Structure 1
């Protein structure tokens, strides 16, 4: 069956498009400096926007050349380039790749000596080094921020930008500081890069990084070479997963929800004759590195892992990604299955689904900070305690937890979070009020997280085209069944509702209780709407029309 074309809106742009001269200059630089004779869709557009100093958000699949998007304008703009990347191994790979093209690139991390640091920052100031790679944790150091400000970078790159979003499946508190860091180093042009970002994640990336009138480029999320399937499992899924792994060409990845489960399942797979190893964040660093390297070299058939495994795994020949338990959102699921078939060859993604596993994910999303702890933090800031270490001590929380609490207080207008100090907002709410407001915000966020889990359930249980539902979640419309998922093979996938009629896909709407939202899927009898303040909601079309539940406010766009 021929795959249908996917409807993907062009990038939304506020303000003028890059000039033809800038695009031509970027294309010439890409050829001469990086050897790129042909650019992929979206690359030149993003390069040219950055070369003209525009903030840019690029959401493009893995393998679509996101690194070149910043490397080309970096060579055209005056001043060095700061690249924020969460993984040291990934940073070092990028440094090696740039040096192979005779570009001077450096990195700093926790293992970098004081002497090496001094030499690196001196090279940046002198203009002999163009690229500096570091993890967001390094930017929590005032000395690093001071050195970067002195170097006056012209471009700041935020890789794996979904980590900045609390909607994101890989949320990292240290990313929350990056907006303040950008201000502290002179507010260079910012490019945020990610392979996975549903509409609310994109909006939060822009807001948290303080991006100014950004060009947003979203290119297709579909990975047509990955066959999609969900299997209902009753009781323990070990036997079913083991049998499925043994049937597949190797290598592959099996994701599970808990650390304990990684060891249990890896043991069973090993007993079945497979070269299997567990991986989770609680393992010693050396052991994690060993598993990572063995997998990349082909010395392992399968890694059984929590979601700690995968970012930075650029192995092209992964033939399958199985989920032995339900992940917490379609964001996480899409990111993880995207590690299969990067060579363009056929690959499989199978979700082993037990409805009771949803309870574990609800538990993971149930934590809300208590008002007392929030109030202690707000009081400490109001009393003039603006240094993070002292704040954490006064509140009795870890530095990581403090970052999350400060973000909540910032969002309710109680504190101002700078790269060096935290200060109270003049005229903001008192500590007790701020704590109540912040807790309410956290509760709403938890409720929204649970609507995302509900979308995960709907994906697992649908009898309709599974790919159409998955792409719709990310704002793309597949106009007919894909032909390569289990529901299409079974003949249960339905043709979508015709485009005419009320509330077509991407329509902006307003609900009396849930506020503004956007239609992300429309079937004959129901709608799925993503509301800004209430998350994902499924509505019966008959009830919507009978009770006038939604008001159309304008056409939508997947580029927003």
Structure 2
């Protein structure tokens, strides 16, 4: 521990390390794979940057965005740490060659790259020739279909770890509810792992929900709220690209320094908006969920959501961009029950089973990899549907896309029928997970209890006393919890007669929230549970 502290101070200039950082570092040095779930701003990068100095080999860091990679490399360059390089699609040929030369020469200690790079056999082969001692997966929640930002490329990391000689693995994320943590461990294949879970509470954020039944009135109130809060620095999150542009235009006409941000913009325009926001040239960004990963601006004073999000996970991550300096910040969700239907359509609309079967039958007729354009020409489906089916097949592991972009079932070892079955089952599981998350988000918007208690309960934390810093506490509707009086205490195992095994996540006076293995989160009335004998206790999991 003293050596870790010394290196942190002398090399990186960190005079103090948090308890969770030190604990995770010690576990890495003791030979364990580590899952660290720590809030943004808690210094997750230190968990690998410092131990890397005590290992002779290379530290590979999987990071999903080029901007995130750039930020991490700049931070390392500003310290006395060894050289850091990147391999990504934004590099010129000379930069790419320079990175490989530094890696082969042993002058680079840290390598940053996106998971898509590790889908290239040549990249993995060349890395396997080096001495990789630490393999770090940033934003590790992307591996989980239970999470809010699932990315199929993260699913391919487990075999890569084996091909690199099974270096020690560190999985890092700021947002991972219990099912996501379980998925990370299983999908990445962590061995002899230890988990370090930080607290999720952000007591400086004032939480509030404004309920509306009329969409026009809701939009007017969103505009009024942002105008009231500006010119303080803030974020306005919206559901669609069109809303991003409309809100930005109307607020700009009202004198707010604002810009829109969404995935339909060019990369150059997105970079410009992000840079202007970080530099203080913009006060507000009206954004879809495409904005935010890697944004670390300490003085964001408010986050307003014009509509409900698809999950508590993504909501928590987005509001977590406020008040990182520890000062008070305002969090407001504008909620109209009908908005949940839009999110349900956006997140739980898988391809039809017959469309999946048609694509897998076509693939089964080709023993060699086939291009997507050719495949689309051989099926009687709209092109967009064919693309969605192929994406689903790839996400489920039923097919594999080669480096040249061709599709094959060769690596999966599945017949066409088996591939269709796997993809359909995977789609069903994702649909249940998405509906479960959306139900929990609606529950947050509709609760009359303490909103902070609700949020923390979702992540498996218990806050017995109302927080005193949310709208329900202000209104006096939040009440003290008496979890010890319940026959189904938090973290206990239960079995539902229809939904099977689950774990109690939180307990309120009249209800409890259970995370079921197959059905996801469900909030149950205690009165109904008792009257209908819905749950059977199976013991406790511990804390």
Which residue does 1:235 correspond to in 2? 215
Contact kept in structure 2, 1:382 and 1:423, CA below 8 Å = no
After superposition, what is the alpha-carbon deviation per residue over 1:163-201, rounded to whole angstroms, capped at 9, x for unaligned? 222222222222222222222222211111111111111
Aligned mate of 2:11, from 26, 29, 33: 33
Once the two structures are overlaid, the 10-residue window that deviates more, 456-465 or 175-184, is 175-184
Q: 2:135 pairs with 138, 152, 156, which one?
A: 156
Per the alignment, in what secondary structure is the counterpart of residue 484 of structure 2? coil
Aligned residue number for residue 380 of structure 2: none
In the TM superposition, what whole-angstrom CA distance separates every residue of 1:250-291 from its partner, at most 9, and x where no partner exists? 110000000000111111111111111110000111111111
Aligned pair in 2 of structure 1 residues 418, 152: CA closer, same or farther (>3 Å)? Answer: farther
Shift of 1:148: 1.2
Distance 2:117 2:474 in 1: 49
Stretch moving more, 122-131 or 463-472 = 122-131
Label 1:392 to 1:544 Cα distance change in 2 as closer, same or farther (>3 A).
Answer: farther
1:75 alignment partner, one of 30, 53, 65: 53
The answer to whether residue 229 in structure 2 is matched with residue 248 in structure 1 is yes
List aligned pairs for 1:81-92, cutoff 5 A: 81-92=59-70
Q: Secondary structure at the match of 1:130?
A: strand
Per-residue displacement from partner, 1:305-346 (whole Å, max 9, x unpaired)? Answer: 000011111111000000001111111100000000111111
> Could you state the TM-score of these two structures normalised by the residue count of structure 1?
0.89
Distance across 2 between alignment mates of 1:205 and 1:384:
34
Aligned-pair RMSD on alpha carbons? 2.4
The whole-number CA distance in structure 2 between the counterparts of 1:183 and 1:227 is 45
Aligned to 1:486: 471
Instruction: Report the alpha carbon displacement of residue 144 of structure 1 after superposing the two structures with TM.
Output: 1.5
Q: How far apart in 2 are the matches of 1:441 and 1:448?
A: 11
1:423 paired with 2:402, answer no
Q: How does 1:15-26 map to 2 (within 5 A)?
A: 23-26=1-4
Equivalences for residues 205-224 of structure 1 within 5 A: 205-224=184-203
CA shift, 1:69, in A, is 0.4
Quick check: 2:392–2:427 contact (8 Å CA) kept in 1? no
Give the stretch that moved more between structures: 490-499 or 466-475: 490-499
- Given candidates 512, 526, 533, the residue that maps to 1:527 is 512
Q: Which residue of 2 aligns with 1:405?
A: 393
The equivalent residue for 1:556 is 541
- What is aligned with 2:32? 54
**CA distance in structure 2 between the aligned counterparts of 1:45 and 1:381, rounded to whole angstroms:** 49
Equivalent residue for 1:499, pick from 484, 489, 499:
484
Match of 2:253 among 271, 277, 293: 271
Any idea what the Cα deviations from partners look like across 1:336-393, whole Å, max 9, x if unmatched?
A: 0000011111101100011111110110123223335544665677678475x64785
Residue in structure 2 matching 1:319, options 286, 292, 301? 301
The equivalent residue for 2:77 is 99
CA distance in 1, matches of 2:219, 2:498: 44
Q: Distance in 1 between matches of 2:340 and 2:21?
A: 39
Distance across 2 between alignment mates of 1:295 and 1:319: 13
Greater shift in the superposed pair: 394-403 or 104-113: 394-403
Query: 1 or 2 for the larger relative contact order (CA 8 Å, sep ≥6)?
Result: 1
Aligned residue number for residue 477 of structure 1 = 462
1:75-154 paired onto structure 2 within 5 Å: 75-102=53-80, 103-154=82-133
Structural mapping, 1:505-520, within 5 Å: 505-520=490-505
Residue 394, structure 1, aligned to residue 375, structure 2: yes
Identify which range, 63-72 or 94-103, moves more after superposition: 94-103
What is the CA-CA distance between 1:137 and the residue it aligns to?
2.0
Report how far residue 35 of structure 1 moved: 2.3
Give the match for residue 3 of structure 1: none
Of residues 309, 324, 332, the one that matches 2:314 is 332
> For the Cα contact (< 8 Å) 1:392–1:402, is it kept in 2?
no
- Greater alpha carbon shift after TM alignment, 149-158 vs 134-143: 134-143
Change (3 A) 1:444 1:46: same
1:142-168 deviation per Cα after TM superposition (whole angstroms, max 9, x unaligned): 222222111131111111111222222
- Hey, what does 1:20 align to over in structure 2? none
Q: What is the CA–CA distance in structure 2 between the aligned matches of 1:157 and 1:473, rounded to whole Å?
A: 27
Distance 1:378 1:185, change over 3 A: farther
Aligned: 1:453 with 2:473: no
Question: Residues 535 and 546 of structure 1: is their aligned pair in 2 closer, same or farther, counting only changes over 3 Å?
Answer: same
Separation in 2 of the partners of 1:183 and 1:441? 25
State the partner residue of 2:525.
Answer: 540
Bigger drift between 312-321 and 27-36 goes to 27-36
Is 1:242–1:269's contact at 8 Å kept on the other side of the alignment? yes
Whole-Å Cα distance in 2 between the matches of residues 261 and 475 of structure 1?
A: 34
2:277 is matched with 295
Match of 1:9 in 2: none
Pick which of 291-300 and 34-43 moved more. Answer: 34-43
**Does the CA contact (< 8 Å) of 2:237 and 2:286 recur in 1?**
yes
C-alpha distance after superposition, 1:179-225 (max 9, x if no partner): 22222222211111111111111111112211113211110011111
Aligned 8 A contact 1:385 1:391 in 2: no
Instruction: Give, in whole Å, the separation in 2 of the partners of 1:279 and 1:416.
Output: 32
1:502 and 1:320 map into 2 onto residues whose CA distance is 40
SS at match of 1:66: coil
Counterpart in the other structure of 1:356: 338
Unpaired runs of 5+ residues, structure 1, are 1-22
Q: Deviations over 1:448-498 (max 9, x none)?
A: 311211111111111110100011001110011000000000001011124
Equivalence for 1:179: 158
Q: 1:506, 1:556 within 8 Å by CA — same for their partners in 2?
A: yes
Q: How many residues align?
A: 529
C-alpha change, 1:477 and 1:116, in structure 2 (3 Å) is same
Partners of 2:362 and 2:2 in 1: CA distance? 54
Looking at structure 2, the residues matched to 57 and 416 of structure 1 have their Cα atoms a distance apart, in angstroms, of 27
Deviation at 1:424, TM superposition (A): 5.3
